[in-house]
Structure 1
Amino acid sequence: MSIEIEANPDAPNRFRNPYLFDLDQKKFPLFTDKNIQLANAMIAYNSSYNRYSDDDLKQMYRRMFKSGKETRKNAIRQVVYVTDHINSTHLTALKDKHQKQVECGSAKVIVNKDKCVLKGGAYLTAEEIIEIKNLRRLLNEPDPKLVRTIALAAQKRARREKQCDINKNNFSFATKFCHHASRYSGETDDPGKAKYCIYDKVVGEVLPYYACAYMPAADIEDFCNRNAEKCDGGTITKSRYSSSCFWIAATIKELAASDKYEEYADLYCSVRDGINNWRKDHGSLAKGEISFEEIDSLIWYYFKGARLDEARKRLKGLGGDWGLCR
């Protein structure tokens, strides 16, 4: 890894306080068991974040794989509505190249016994997902092409049915749909591990820090150089940025804009592996390996809101004196 992650020397008592997050020396949260449990508890018991119960969500996702054509259709529509609603991925907005709102069909869905309307880009996305063959298998494999298919679903259907020339990339929604749906896509009803990692603004800005912290420097260099040729006309080069953190962030942003999930997932998996190596070496703080859902929950909860602004300031202040960031 690029630096040796250690506890924040200014706050050693945090590790003994069950209500405070464990921080590293740069005041970013560590992936300790306590931090993961604390973030999950905060999400579970805060009504601002937990709009739907775990049981409601599990049943909803599982119904996508039940027998019966209409049952499956309605379940997929419900999942699209709820995923968009919870994560504010703005699926509904659908405008053509002249910024004119595109009118399209709609469908009624029942969520927690409430009648809701699925419309706009959300409706078109759901109708495309309904037509995906072997959805369960693709969620299990996983298949990077599935993310691209879902990300561009509204655009594809609007052009085909409405003859509307629009550009609608729902990459963030697609990763979240696949992430959550893959947990319940197995042959049994028992929830498993997510097979897809999530991309959103928070993760895109913070993941570069954890890449620099937990990945070998040579792997970071290889990732960015390899993808520089695929992104922004090959101009995502290290010399343009004040630190490797910002170089990685720019690369991630371009990968998301061009629907290159496989390359983004490659980085995320490398960060996950580095975190798990750290956890093996710190058995008093962490037991066993973690996966996408634990990493995403901690990053999403901890950096939601004002802490993201603070993180941006710290990243700018790291400069050339921190590991690979020079």
Structure 2
Amino acid sequence: MDSKSSEQQSFTLEIQKEFDQRSGRVKSVDLHPTEPWILSSLHSGTVCIWNYQSQAMEKSFNLTEAPVRSAKFIARKKWFVAGADDKFIRVYNYDTDERLEEFEAHTDYIRSVAVHPTLPYVLSASDDVHIKLWDWEKDWVCSQVFQGHGHYVMQVAFNPRDNTTFASVSLDRTIQMWNLESTSSNLTIAAHTKGINSVDFSKCGDKTYVIIGSDDHTAKVWDYETATCVQTLEGHTHNVTAVCVHPEAPIIITGSEDGTIRIWHALTYRLENTLNFEFGRVWAIGCRSGSPEIVIGCDEGTIMGKVICSHSWDSVKLGHKEEVSRE
């Protein structure tokens, strides 16, 4: 057995809980890249910033009476951006608490926002089946509209290896790949037997995969260049609502309406651990580069845990509408 195979087989991990905070239903979570902060958006219309070191709330913003399904830090501007069921995108300065922008962005619920890592762009995805690109350096003009999905667009994510491309997933059961310069998708894959809720990218050597979670209770790993399903991750007993690939450790994290978090080895796809923090259904998972922490958003609040590996941290681093619940 070679050393790589030996290391993969001996790899084990645990999640050590470091922070939890009971609240209303959490629909999205994000970790600040430099501050010890968690951004949580709630079904109640509130966005909170929690300090996981002091175990206290830093800020609370009452955005709307509608659910805020997605909020992300734009750390380089000291902002956060949020999309809600009232169809509006809002931008706040989290230092001054000032609301900088508020505009109607879609004609139905906004499910997801994604921030470009270097350019002044925000993507938004909606139940109106459109994806839109917003440029904050041009007064938040909509510079592109991407059309192709036939049902609610549940999430969008930029490709970490090529930031000119992004993935989207929908309840039409497909994943689509896009280029920022074109309004037509480059690739459409009929990926699941039921609607798809979540997407993330996984880098493994010179290959990049997409991980998607579905209402068929599974997550799947796709090689989108060959349109091939590499692995199906089975075990959840309800809809898979969130997937997250850790940028530091070789793990895939999946969350479900069954209330559990499952941790999978990103190379072998072996199930490493199943966790239930008794916080109800899981709606969101987040992590960040340079940190072993993961953050989880659930029906009853926010949880943060640290990935504890059997090896040293450095050694595991990796370069139909009627049927739909609108919870």
Q: Shared topology, TM-score over 0.5?
A: no
Bigger fraction of residues in helix: 1
Q: Which has the larger radius of gyration?
A: 1
Bigger fraction of residues in strand: 2
Query: Taking structure 1 as the reference length, what is the TM-score of the superposition?
Result: 0.31
